DNA sequence: TAATAAAATTAGGTTAACCTAACTATTTAA
DNA sequence: TTAAATAGTTAGGTTAACCTAATTTTATTA
């Protein structure tokens, strides 16, 4: 039996591991993420280890086993499907969908998920550009990297954002930058790495390196030297 | 803070009280309904009494206070809105909606409920004909009573069912009797109280008293002597 | 590298929500 | 009307999920 708490612990491990792949997932990280105290996490980790969902030791931190990852990906799937549904079908805004999806993701009905996934047209990506795992837990391929890694002259398409905060999303809306928009990097300021961009609708957009790090793009300029 | 368990206890008291208004709601009734043991119920009742949601004593059983009733009716509201939504928008069948709505009713987002209530067209009744309480916990008026109380010659409109089991609903579907259908009572068998009915599409339908007790109707024959 | 800070861990405690077993009070029925 | 059955209650126990405080490890930095 998987309770919603157990699901949340597994999802936390998954998300923390993916957020920074170079770092191990420590009990303290999980505790901060879930807003509980480290001893609570240790206790739960022991249970998850016993159930075969994670491995844990002080040096490698917590890692999901294959089974654990399957469960985590299924919750991520449900979350992203609900977010898309709330956004597209029920006309919720960017900033509202996450919190409600956090609750809805724990509703236990495959048929319901299948049904709403059909209604939204079986997309591969949610409205943030995040990939929706399939039923087998496989993520659709997408070659995304931060806009900040672009070089001058690069032409990219916006495929997502790595920050989901309201203030950031509103900032993008103001700049009229949205999913699937094409950006041309006109200039990169060598001093602070800020960018000058142009889009179809707007030219000479100035953007800080900080913001550019949160925008995920794919280069579509043939033979571009960008990484 | 209202947990989903607390919500379920209050809903149970509400439903048991409404199911048989002449009977008090005993700890054992609640225990059977929620599939827990009586001591568990007693314990929870003490908490609910302390919180001011119910009153309890051995002789009157459990009764909801005004506050408790407001909470219970809000859950009933959410449940019936979700059932209608699942049925009408997501094309779930009669027999599937209840179980999923049992989970969805605990999702805490007034905005979500408002949104889906709008989508289904702000109806007063759910697909079982059960009234949907408004936000203030007021039930829409409906004058319903069992078909079994009809007399010969009575003409009634079907406004609901008091049994929601799959087998019963399938039986009605077979007889082509649905919500808002009109029935004429041709004959009542004095021996076993079985009825002979006719509808627009079918004549001489035989129905047991048992089934007729579960169908809720309103008489639409002017000056009918039925009760 | 020794002192300090931070993280991991252990020990022990709380609360909610469940349980069984035993007992008491109330009904029901012989 | 008394014995048997049923319902209500109390006592005491378990587990999950949290906690704080104290201790041990590990990492950082002066």
pLDDT digit string (tens) for B25-65?
A: 999 999 999 999 999 999 999 999 999 999 999 999 999 99
pLDDT for A58 beyond 90: yes
Centre a 10 Å sphere on the Cβ of residue B24 and count the other Cβ atoms it contains: 16
- Distances in Å between the alpha carbon of A187 and those of A16, A154, A181, B133, B156? 34, 10, 18, 60, 78
**pLDDT higher at B225 or A95:** B225
Distance B205 CA to C20 C1' (A): 52
Q: What is the CATH number of the domain that holds B195?
A: 2.30.30.90
Is position A140 within any domain?
no
How far in angstroms lies nucleotide C5's C1' from the CA of residue A54? 30
**C-beta within 7 A of nucleic chain C, residues 24-43 of B:** 35-37, 39-40, 43
Last residue of some domain: B46, B64, B82? B64
Q: Which chain A residues have a beta carbon less than 8 Å from that of B85?
A: none
In a domain, A108, yes or no: no
Is B211 part of a structural domain of the chain? Answer: yes
Which SS3 state, helix, strand or coil, does residue B56 take?
A: strand
Instruction: Find, among B200, B91, B215, B90, the residue nearest to B150 by Cα.
Output: B215
CATH of residue A38: 1.10.10.10
Residue B67: pLDDT band (50, 70, 90) is: very high
Q: Which of A86, A91, A109 sits opposite B100 (nearest CB)?
A: A109
Return the structure tokens found at A73: 């990906």
Q: Last residue of some domain: B16, B37, B64?
A: B64
| pLDDT digits 0-9 by tens, A157-198 | 999 999 888 899 889 988 999 889 999 999 999 999 999 999
Which residues span the domain enclosing A176?
A: 145-219
Q: Can you give the distance from the CA of residue B40 to the C1' of nucleotide C22 in angstroms?
A: 16
- Within a domain: residue A92? no
pLDDT at B2: 79
Between CA A81 and CA A171 the distance in angstroms is 25
Nearest CA in chain A to B116: A90
Give the mean pLDDT of chain A: 94
Q: Which nucleotides of D are covered by protein (CB under 7 A)?
A: 7-12, 16-21, 25-27
Sign of the torsion formed by the C-alpha atoms of B36, B38, B39 and B41: positive
Mean pLDDT value of segment A132-159? 94
Q: What per-residue confidence (pLDDT) applies to B1? A: 59
The Cα–Cα gap between A121 and A37 comes to 41
- Domain annotation covers residue A50: yes
Q: Is the residue at B132 inside a domain?
A: no
Tens digits of residue pLDDT in B79-120: 999 999 999 999 998 778 999 999 999 999 999 999 999 999
Say if residue B189's pLDDT is above 70: yes
Contact A196, A204 (CB under 8 A): yes
Q: Classify A137 as helix, strand or coil.
A: coil
Residue A95 covered by a domain: no
A50 pLDDT above the threshold of 80: yes
Residue among A90, A109, A115 minimizing CB distance to B115: A90
Q: Hey, are the CB atoms on A91 and B115 less than 8 Å from each other? A: yes
Of B26, B45, B64, the position where a domain reaches its end is: B64
Tally the domains of chain B: 2
Answer whether residue B224 is part of any domain.
no
The pLDDT of residue A1:
60
């Amino acid at each position: 039996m998987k309770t919603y708490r157990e699901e949340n612990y597994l999802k936390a491990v998954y998300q923390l591991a993916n957020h920074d792949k170079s770092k191990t997932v420590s009990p303290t990280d999980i505790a901060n993420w879930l807003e509980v105290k480290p001893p609570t996490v240790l206790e739960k980790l022991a249970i998850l280890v016993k159930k075969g969902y994670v491995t844990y030791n002080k040096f490698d931190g917590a890692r999901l086993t294959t089974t654990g990852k399957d469960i985590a990906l299924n919750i991520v799937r449900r979350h992203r499907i609900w977010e898309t549904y709330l956004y597209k079908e029920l006309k919720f805004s960017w900033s509202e969908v996450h919190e409600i999806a956090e609750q809805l993701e724990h509703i236990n009905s495959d048929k319901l998920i299948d049904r709403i996934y059909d209604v939204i047209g079986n997309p591969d990506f949610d409205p943030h550009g995040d990939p929706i795992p399939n039923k087998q837990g496989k993520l659709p391929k997408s070659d995304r990297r931060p806009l900040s890694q672009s070089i001058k002259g690069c032409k990219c398409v916006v495929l997502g954002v790595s920050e989901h905060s309201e203030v950031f999303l509103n900032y993008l809306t103001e700049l009229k930058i949205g999913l699937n928009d094409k950006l041309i990097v006109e200039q990169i300021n060598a001093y602070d790495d800020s960018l000058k961009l142009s889009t179809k609708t707007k030219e000479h957009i100035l953007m800080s390196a900080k913001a550019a790090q949160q925008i995920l793009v794919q280069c579509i300029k043939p033979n571009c030297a960008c990484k």
